[in-house]
Chain A
């Protein structure tokens, strides 16, 4: 496979031109959520929260990432957990938590995902 063929179109820039740019994406039968953070960068991460599996499609788009409405775990666009606001003060557990993430790029009004990475995660 050549590298160019690994990029698959998953959405258009147009689709994210809304007040809350968050979109469900399915790749190889796996659910993901695509969002634009406060800096304008895109993130494509697993749709189920790694805590207890809540649906991040309904996440709160805030603080430069996506926050799970169930217990407030917060993820940046790479899927890295940044905060666990219900865990005890000083807990570092969040540093160990990462949602599966797929690389994306935006070219000419299209948003593309690097598919080989999703296969690598299987």
Chain B
């Protein structure tokens, strides 16, 4: 449990807020590049600010402030011709990476360098980007992503699908080196041993599931400061996902799917996701208003939630069900929440450093950021006494065979 005051401090993101100040030191996903088809002005609702993508001097994309009424809905998306730019409001620089337009809303003269993460250095053909809306504060959305225990419950399938039919979906692959679908490993071994290490980019989270016959399932995931995660999706792909505040009570996830093997089948990945979302706000079709299509019969026999096979919907239900801003004065964190506790400590340290003007104490804000590679995200099954080597080698092997430079 934490105090109401602390909960406010680490969740609120408007101009002048503490956590908002930390986020404003980093490039923030602002729109998908396909949104530029909307017209010469594209609405962007970000960090409690009402903005629009426009062309500035030299035809460069920038974010400008747009004139908005106070009662505008969080994800208001006016037609291009109806957008009025507030010429007295701030403007912010924009940079495109792999289909996502990032914006820098900070006050430093030069925005930070982009780290050399896999999602940024892979060729365009090997990265697919998409986004989706969640009706809740960004921090509870991020916290699900750094909680390795929930996958054994929330995403549990009471029966396994055929991994061969799982392209482009999470947890459907076979665990490296076995014939066991990951879904089966997660279901049968629900008490992971979790260790959390601080890194240059944030946190490395190792979840060990000790299995029968002296084997261990090793899942390495990462928190990228301040608000992203990097996790394995399949043997072929990893996921890098940002949780971006629209306002205090609404956020978008932006995901880059990065392939170490074949080019990504973007048409298929996009079609799979467009079927579940409505444009232009990328709001999920299953949501609180329609009970996430909850089916008690399915919950009894097929899935843990009764909300279908799409794990994004499970996560969405989990975070939206907490309320728009989770009341952390009522929570009881356990051992499985280790990474969440560590992350909050990092965020508070960053808030204090930023408030004191010690910007270089924040992760990845110095010139060395451009040299940070990885992070390594990987699922493997190993002989228990060799898990470190085997997990590392499994990732090094796929990197060595990669068509682009994936060395770490």
- By a beta-carbon cutoff of 8 Å, the part of chain A in contact with chain B is 19-20, 48, 50-55, 57-58, 60, 69-72, 84-89, 91, 93, 97
User: With contacts A53-B326, A87-B191, A88-B191 known, is A93 near B334, CB below 8 A?
Assistant: yes
How large, as a class, is the contact surface on chain B? 35 or more
B331 with A53: CB separation less than 8 A: yes
CB atoms of B330 and A84 under 8 A apart = no
A52-B326, A58-B306, A86-B152 known; A72+B331 contact, CB < 8 A: no
Pairs across A and B, CB under 8 Å, 28 listed: A19-B296, A20-B300, A52-B140, A52-B331, A52-B333, A53-B140, A53-B321, A53-B330, A54-B318, A54-B321, A58-B294, A58-B305, A58-B317, A58-B321, A69-B299, A69-B314, A70-B154, A71-B149, A71-B150, A84-B334, A86-B149, A86-B150, A86-B152, A86-B153, A86-B336, A87-B334, A88-B193, A91-B335
Distance A50 CA – B322 CA, assembled complex (angstroms):
10
CB-based A-B contact count at 8 angstroms: 93
Contact A70 B323 (CB under 8 A): no
Nearest CB on A from B146, distance (A): 12
Enumerate chain B interface residues (CB-CB to A < 8 A): 140, 143, 149-150, 152-154, 190-193, 292, 294, 296-297, 299-300, 304-307, 314, 317-318, 321-323, 326-328, 330-337
Chain A residues with CB under 8 Å of B294's CB are: 58
A97–B1 Cα distance when bound, in Å, is 12
Per DSSP, chain A at the interface is loop
Q: Report if A85-B191 is in contact (Cβ < 8 Å); known contacts: A50-B332, A71-B153.
A: yes
Per the bound structure, the CA–CA distance linking A48 and B319 in Å amounts to 12
Q: Please name all residues of chain B whose beta carbon is closer than 8 Å to the beta carbon of A84 when the two chains form the complex.
A: 334
Q: Which 9 A-B residue pairings sit nearest by Cβ, starting from the closest?
A: A55-B321, A53-B322, A86-B149, A20-B296, A72-B153, A86-B336, A69-B305, A53-B326, A70-B318
